[in-house]
Structure 1
Amino acid sequence: MRHAGGGDPTVDHIVLKATRVLVVRVGDVVVKAHEADTDEAALKARLSVELPAGLMLRALSVDRVGGRIVTVWPAGTPLTPDDLDDAPWEEAGELLAELHRQPVPDGVPMMGGPERVTRAVARLEPDDLPRRAYTTLNLNQRRRVLTHGDWHLGQLLRHDGAWTLIDPDDLGWGDPAWDLARPAAWFANGLMDPAGWDRLTRSYLRAGGTAMSGDDMWRELDGPARALTVQLAAVAVANAREDGVPLDDAAAALMSSCERILTAPPLS
């Protein structure tokens, strides 16, 4: 397969991800085969969103190969586990704030965050704790802001000497607090260093981010953080069941939070 990156497709490749999505680095580009049931029209609408240079990596090409949508991207340098002790939280906050200031284009779908929660819970048994906690959530979007839809540290890439956002598969309109929901859930569950959380939120607010207020950020973050806690717990339970292994300590912390979600009313 020839691609728009100008690299040689015969060079050695490195498999970066092999789940329902296949991601392979080939020379100077990364090739991504999307899930078989991907909504092609919605993905193309997301990929066509015009953003300021350097804010989010743009696809080099979009094709259909063997019944699946395949996109090709410039290769960059992702974060590694060694980077997490000093993760680029300030840069992340600035990038998210800039994204949330962009206008919402006509025709772009709703961001994919709530659908991800629902898909994760669908893998569970009816009496599983995260599934019961799911029934208490409000997944409605109260605001119409351009959001990433699935943001975490893995969505940062160093390209041309600067950090940029990647993976617009869930880009769309919605409540910008959802882009901070995963780190908020990590922090609330004791899985994220408070110093990192402080660096991220201070940077976001300094850069003009509007997902939350500086005086009481949990008023906006509580609902999305609950949803991401349920999602992460659901994935942990489903994966452990499929692999025949017990839950690890991080999953146990998420399960404890699901217990609290069932009994504690939301803040808003």
Structure 2
Amino acid sequence: MTADTLLPALTAAARHAAHPATAAPCPCDAGDALLADRDDGTVVRHGDIVAKAHAPDTDPAALALRLSVAAGLPGVLLSPLTPASAGLLGRRVTLWPYGGPVDPDTPDAAPWEAAATLLARLHRAPAPDGLPPMRGPAKAARAIARLRAAGPHPAAVPVLRAWGALPGWARAEAPMPDVTTLCHGDLHLGQLVRHPAPDGPWLLIDVDDLGVGDPTWDLARPAAWYACGLLPTDEWLRFLTAYRAAGGPAVPADGDPWSALDVAARALTVQTAALAVAKSVAADRPLDEVQLAVVDACDRMSSAPPELTQGFAT
């Protein structure tokens, strides 16, 4: 199935959800917008409705459990419009209300406190029986597989060396240390929206990686950015302080957080670097400044002991 086939069908699904009693053509002035088109999902918007076609290998039963979690945690996760996914051209499709995203052009207004508080509330919520493992480590392993398939590149050497030094759970080769905590699995600022837009409360979105596991993974991306020198100290501390204030269980209530965060932060750094190098090879272009920073951090990991109090950038 190609995008030429999927996109019109997905857009039609969003339009039908917005106007279920109206035949085509669409009776409103709302335009259609492609919000995302990646291997792991295609997302379109029509007015206040968003339709998402999940990855082709999505397990319908696991997705149903994840949707039930979202529906059962209003105020933490954006609730789906329907309790189950539908089939469309071999893909599972879900419908959601539109939420206003974080504005990338105003980094000073990034909702770090909201993200941290929502994470803490998620981590403290009970997980339903049968919920599959959080998919963060599996995504990191796929990034490494993509790097290895991309072909030779000098930057791949320190990335793969750093990957090999991680414990098995961070490489999806062994059970996670925590297999009971409810986790998001892929937390970054793109996973927050305001609903209703534009001034409603912040909510977490994207349940594809939701599951039980080690909650340190959900803090790992901002921790890694901080450790790599890409996130200012004050923003990192805003995030960490808000998470602790909300009773988040991933780190100690006070003192040094790195004894808990070090492994997951290293894993997210390796994942980020692996994807950067793979994309660089595919596009035949050099790494940019940010991408070089995460590759350099991978190189430093080889000589830096774990659980550094200041992260692994120094």
Alpha-carbon distance in 1 for matches of 2:146, 2:35: 24
The two structures have a TM-score, normalised by structure 2, of 0.81
Asked which structure has the greater CA Rg, the reply is 2
Contact 1:5/1:28 (8 A) holds in 2: no
In structure 2, the partner of 1:107 is: 130
In structure 2, the partner of 1:118 is: 141
Alpha-carbon distance in 1 for matches of 2:293, 2:80: 37
Unmatched tracts of structure 1, length 5 or more:
none
Alignment partner of 2:298: what SS? helix
> Structure 2 vs 1, CA of residues 5 and 186 (structure 1 numbering), >3 Å: closer, same or farther?
farther
Alpha-carbon distance in 2 for matches of 1:88, 1:212: 20
1:248 aligns with 2:257: no
Query: How does 1:147-162 map onto structure 2 within 5 Å?
Result: 147-160=183-196, 161-162=200-201
Structure 2 residue corresponding to 1:142, chosen from 174, 177, 183: 177
Alpha-carbon distance in 1 for matches of 2:60, 2:274: 27
In structure 2, the partner of 1:17 is: 36
Give the superposition deviation at 1:265.
Answer: 3.3
The two structures have a TM-score, normalised by structure 1, of 0.94
Alpha-carbon distance in 2 for matches of 1:51, 1:171: 13
Alpha-carbon distance in 1 for matches of 2:132, 2:16: 28
> Structure 2 vs 1, CA of residues 249 and 51 (structure 1 numbering), >3 Å: closer, same or farther?
same
Give the superposition deviation at 1:253.
Answer: 0.8
1:35 aligns with 2:71: no
- Number of residues paired by the alignment? 268
Unmatched tracts of structure 2, length 5 or more:
1-11, 309-314
1:98 aligns with 2:121: yes
> Structure 2 vs 1, CA of residues 5 and 58 (structure 1 numbering), >3 Å: closer, same or farther?
farther
1:226 aligns with 2:266: yes
Query: Aligned partner of 2:54: which letter?
Result: H
Alpha-carbon distance in 2 for matches of 1:134, 1:51: 36
In structure 2, the partner of 1:173 is: 212
In structure 2, the partner of 1:45 is: 65
Query: Aligned partner of 2:297: which letter?
Result: S
Query: Aligned partner of 2:206: which letter?
Result: D
Give the superposition deviation at 1:93.
Answer: 1.2
